[in-house]
Structure 1
Amino acid sequence: MSDALITFNRDGALRRLMNNETLLNRILEIFFSQAEERFSQIRQDIQLGRYTEARATAHGLKGSAGEVGAERLHRCLGDLEKALTDNSTQAEELYKVAVVEYQQFSQQARQPASN
C-alpha cells in the first residue's frame, strides 16, 4: 500500500478544496512558511530528549502535510510520531527521512501545475 503513495497528490488536495487552485496555492504558502521552523523544533526536541514535545509538533505537521497532499511526507511523519511515542532510538533516523521527503515535496509542489 505504501508504494501507492505519491510525493504530491495535487489532485487530492484540490478535491478537498473544491478545485480551488488559488486556495491550494495559498495553503501551500502557509504550509511552507511554517514547515521549516517546525522541522527545526522537532530536531531540537529530539536532541534534547523532549520526545513528547517533538511528537506533538510532528503530529501537527503530519496533519498539515495530509491536507496539502504530501502523502509520503504524511506517512513519514506518522512513522516519526510513532517512534517518538515509543521513545525509539529510530527517531533521529526517521526525522532525517522526513526531512528528505519534505524537500522532495517542496520541490514538486512549487512547480507550476501542468494541465
Structure 2
Amino acid sequence: MAIYLSVSALIEDDWQSHNVREFRIVQAAKAMHRLASGTHRKWDVWIPRLDGTVPYEMHAYPRSSGIVLRKMGEAVEKACGGLPKTAVPEIIALKTERFGLHQSHPLPSS
C-alpha cells in the first residue's frame, strides 16, 4: 500500500506525468516487483595495487513487463480502496512543505 500511495502521489504531483490509471498501476507494480525479485551476490575481489581485497556487490533484476504488472497493480489498487483519495493530497502537502514544489509546477506569479 505504501508503494501504491507513493507512486500515486508522485504521479499526481508531477504536472508532466501520464496521469492515467494504467500508468499508475504499472509503475507501482514495477516497484513492488523489484522488492520481491532479483539476484543479489556479494564477494571480495582481490585488487593487486591495493595488495588486498575490496567488497563487491552485484544486483540484477529480471525485466518486469507484461500482464503480470497490470494484475499486481490492480490487486494493490483494489486493496487500497478509497485511501488514495484522502492520503495522496496529504502526502503531496507534506512533501511540498518539506522539499518545495515539484519542478514541473509552473512558477508562482508574483
Determine if the TM-score, normalized by the shorter chain, exceeds 0.5.
Answer: no
Compare the two structures and name the one with the higher strand fraction. 2
Instruction: Normalising by structure 1, report the TM-score.
Output: 0.26
Greater CA radius of gyration, 1 or 2? 2
Bigger relative contact order, structure 1 or 2 (CA pairs below 8 A, ≥6 apart): 2
Compare the two structures and name the one with the higher helix fraction. 1
